[in-house]
Structure formats: structure tokens, C-alpha cells
């Protein structure tokens, strides 16, 4: 039983680390994003805000949903959505695609 608790702690800490790393890396990469996608200052703001707004807006709802259907199921679904949307953000060809991918990342993170 103790081993299961440790694996749960490791999974939770890893997920939180991924969320914080994502925010930090995107902030550092904003100049490259601007050059690579030809993004305006407003576009760069939405790259950050799309993630933050969806994360904040869905965090409590996801917790409530996890209480009803199971924490492991919601965690696994969130991780899958976050990972897939990270891939979509990485291959974004224009600012709109990046905004949508970042909003999906925030949804998965929530």
C-alpha cells in the first residue's frame, strides 16, 4: 500500500512540474514565436492567456468531475489532452492554431 501512495505522489508532482515548465518555456520562447509565426503583440498575449484562462476556468470543474467519475480516469484524460495539444502547439503554423492548442493545453491541465 505504501508503494501505491508513492507512485501517486510521483505522478502528481510530475504533472505539476509539467504545468509549471510549460508556462516557463512559453514565456522564454515568446520572441521566437513572434519571429517564427509573424505574431503580433496581441497574439503573444493570447498565447499566454488562452492557457491561463482555460486552466483557471476548468480547474474546479475538473476536480468535481474527478470526484464523480474517478480521479485516475480524469487525470489520465487530462494528461492525454495536454500531451496531444502540446504536439499541436509545437507544429502550429499560425497564431490562431497556437491559441487553440494552448487553450486545449489549459483544458487538459485543468
Rg (C-alpha) for the chain, rounded Å, is 15
Cα gap 101→73, rounded to integer Å: 22
**pTM given for the model:** 0.87
Cα gap 24→22, rounded to integer Å: 5
Alpha carbon 33 to its chain centroid, in Å, reads 17
Residue pLDDT, tens place only, 16-31: 888 888 888 899 999 9
Residue pLDDT, tens place only, 56-92: 999 899 889 989 999 999 999 999 999 999 999 999 9
What ranges do the domains of the chain cover?
2-109
Task: Report DSSP state, residue 78.
Answer: H
Amino acid at each position: 500500500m505504501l508503494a501505491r501512495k508513492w507512485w501517486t505522489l510521483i505522478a502528481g508532482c510530475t504533472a505539476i512540474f509539467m504545468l509549471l515548465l510549460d508556462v516557463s518555456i512559453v514565456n522564454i520562447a515568446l520572441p521566437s514565436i513572434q519571429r517564427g509565426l509573424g505574431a503580433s503583440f496581441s497574439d503573444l498575449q493570447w498565447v499566454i492567456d488562452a492557457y491561463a484562462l482555460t486552466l483557471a476556468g476548468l480547474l474546479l470543474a475538473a476536480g468535481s468531475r474527478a470526484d464523480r467519475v474517478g480521479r485516475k480516469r480524469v487525470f489520465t484524460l487530462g494528461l492525454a489532452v495536454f500531451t496531444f495539444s502540446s504536439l499541436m502547439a509545437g507544429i502550429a503554423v499560425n497564431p490562431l492554431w497556437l491559441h487553440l492548442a494552448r487553450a486545449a493545453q489549459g483544458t487538459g491541465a485543468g
